[in-house]
Amino acid sequence: MSVHGLSRSQQRSDRLARRRAVNRLMETLAWLSAALAVAVLGVVVWSVAARGAGALNLDLLTKPPVPFSLTPVKQGVANAFAGTIVIVGLATAMALPVGILVAIYVNEFARPAARSGITLALDVLNGVPAIVIGIFVFGLLVVGRGQSGLAGAFALACLMLPLVARSTMEVLSLVPSSLREASLALGVPRWRTTLSIVLPQTIGGVLTGTTLAVARIAGETAPLLFTSSIVGTQVSWDPHRALQTVPVAIFELSESPDPADHARAWAAALVLLVFILFASLGARWLATRSRRKLGAAR
């Protein structure tokens, strides 16, 4: 009896040791994966910074490119920065109001069936490859009319819409329903309740979502190749013409035979990367701030 009991506890401690080993193995694997993810970002940032920092100067941001010059001249990709500002700005102006209205409809007015349907549609739209959006807008706006900054902005707006709508939906759902009830119980119509009571609570969250979406679309290349890539070298702010953009410029410069162009491509990539990094940090900061504010209102 006692021998039997001993062997059993022996068995048990064997099993315990195995479980502990498996646990340690899984923990190590998870840690390595996390480290790998951070390392990928680190390597990307480091290699872009190492190669781009040398060509990074004020000329890059302020001077247009000079093609076919035999003597070295001061040049940059100012046209691309101008174009990106115009196109991303226009895309935001298109996607932001529509995205907010979609979120308001889904969160405040839609029946449960419509709500899940639209949510699914937004998630699918978010998953549509950017190049597919590019072809779609090419067929819709570019064929017969030619490329334009507007067409590019529209393509980017299509990519931005689900991002803005989903993040706005998320903050709308954080607004306590007791606030809506307080307003409705006064006999205030729903649209007025939404506009004056609910929406002001979400400004921080909407800004966060928009910032992240801007950071995301600022680096999109594929849709712009179809819609706004056949461009001149002068700086232009006119969205009716095709405008150069930073990602497309990086793509084109990297195909050039001139090594100086390669350096400029890296430098432009570094600027884009830094912008996205700061936008993401800013978005995080806005998000924690608005969460805290909403928490206080609860």
Pick from 9, 185, 257, 295: which binds other proteins (CB under 8 A)?
185
Stretch binding other proteins (CB under 8 A), from 67-75, 163-171, 190-198, 240-248: 190-198
Pick from 22, 37, 189, 284: which binds other proteins (CB under 8 A)?
189
13 contacts other proteins (rule: CB under 8 A): no
Pick from 72, 127, 187, 295: which binds other proteins (CB under 8 A)?
187
Contacts of 86 (CB under 8 A, 6+ apart): 149, 153, 237, 239, 243
Please give the structure tokens belonging to residue 176.
């306590």
Three-class HEC string of 11-42: HHHHHHHHHHHHHHHHHHHHHHHHHHHHHHHH
The torsion angles phi and psi of 70, rounded to 5 degrees, stand at: -85, -30
72 contacts other proteins (rule: CB under 8 A): no
Element spanning 289, H or E = helix 259-297
Could you tell me if 220 and 246 are in contact, meaning their C-beta atoms sit under 8 angstroms apart? no
Give the residue with the Cβ less far from other proteins, 4 or 111. 111
119 contacts other proteins (rule: CB under 8 A): no
Cβ count near 164 (within 10 Å): 26
Please give the structure tokens belonging to residue 82.
């101008």
- HSE-CB at 182 with a 13 A cutoff on CA atoms is 9
Pick from 45, 125, 131, 188: which binds other proteins (CB under 8 A)?
188
Pick from 58, 68, 111, 127: which binds other proteins (CB under 8 A)?
111
Contacts of 197 (CB under 8 A, 6+ apart): 179, 180, 182, 183
Give the residue with the Cβ less far from other proteins, 47 or 177. 177
Site string for other proteins, 143-182 (x = CB under 8 A): ---------------------------------x-xxxxx
CA–CA gap between residue 225 and residue 243 (Å, rounded): 11
Pick from 18, 24, 192, 284: which binds other proteins (CB under 8 A)?
192
Stretch binding other proteins (CB under 8 A), from 72-80, 126-134, 189-197, 266-274: 189-197
Pick from 186, 257, 259, 295: which binds other proteins (CB under 8 A)?
186
Residues that bind other proteins (CB under 8 A): 111-112, 176, 178-190, 192, 196-197, 201, 296-297
